[in-house]
Chains A and B, each alone.
Chain A
């Protein structure tokens, strides 16, 4: 089955700096890669996703890149703000009728004011 690895497990950045989180996946059939953000005490929520037919996607300060050949994808947050502090999970899925989603172990991001 699919296995998703994620690095680093913790990340501290100064406010205004950029943050990068990297993930790798094992199943070449995976074609959908979402990122979820979980603030302390809250439920995970989707912040951005990318499909395998696209190499990069951007939404304001966040962007995701995908390298299908190498089976890795990354989340980039620019101009970080204290409210970006959270745990971020990458995930991988292949669109069968079951839409099973497998998550990485998470990255705890701290943005220091």
Chain B
């Protein structure tokens, strides 16, 4: 079974703090993603990475950065947390490319609920 592990399930931080959210996958997937989930807004893509040291902005990258130094690990960084970044953050991974056997399925972690006071 694919396992995507997010290091922290619940975090409480103060405005202005630097926040690191860590995600590790064990299936040698090329693609990794960070989504933010808010009620009524669904899953919004913050950043994704298709290879080590490669990253692409998603739909809402402002206020966030990412790091992918190793294939299995994808980190989301909030340089200076703000209250409007209070949310559930979901990491996901998938195989790259398309084939009859690769469905492009996203495998999600359990999520990290961040509260910024």
Q: Do A and B bind each other?
A: yes
Tell me whether A1 and B42 are in contact (CB under 8 A).
no
**Size of the chain A interface, CB-CB below 8 angstroms:** 25
Size of B's binding interface in residues, CB under 8 A: 28
For the complex, is B31 an interface residue (Cβ under 8 Å from A)? Answer: yes
Contact B45 A46 (CB under 8 A): no
Is B48's CB within 8 Å of the partner chain A?
Answer: yes
Which of A14-22, A76-84, A101-109 lies at the binding interface? A101-109
Q: Is the interface of B mostly helix, strand, loop or mixed?
A: loop
B105's contact among A34, A97, A102, by CB below 8 Å, is which? Answer: A34
CB of A61 closer than 8 Å to a CB of B: no
Whether A95 contacts B108 in the complex (CB less than 8 A), given A101-B33, A103-B42, comes out as: no
Q: Please tell me if the beta carbons of B94 and A99 are within 8 angstroms of each other in the complex.
A: yes
A8 smallest CB distance to B (angstroms):
12
In A27-43, the 8 Å CB interface with B consists of: 32, 34, 36, 42-43
A110 within 8 A of B: no
Please tell me which one of the listed residues A49, A97, A101 contacts residue B97 in the complex, with CB atoms under 8 A apart: A97
Give residues 64-86 of B contacting A (CB, 8 Å): none
How many whole Å from B104's CB to the nearest CB in chain A?
5
Residues of B within 8 A of A (CB): 31, 33, 35, 40-45, 48, 50, 56, 58-59, 90, 94-98, 103-106, 108-111
A-B CB contact pairs (8 Å), 16 listed: A43-B90, A43-B108, A44-B43, A44-B106, A45-B108, A49-B104, A89-B43, A95-B98, A97-B50, A98-B50, A100-B48, A101-B106, A102-B45, A103-B45, A104-B42, A106-B42
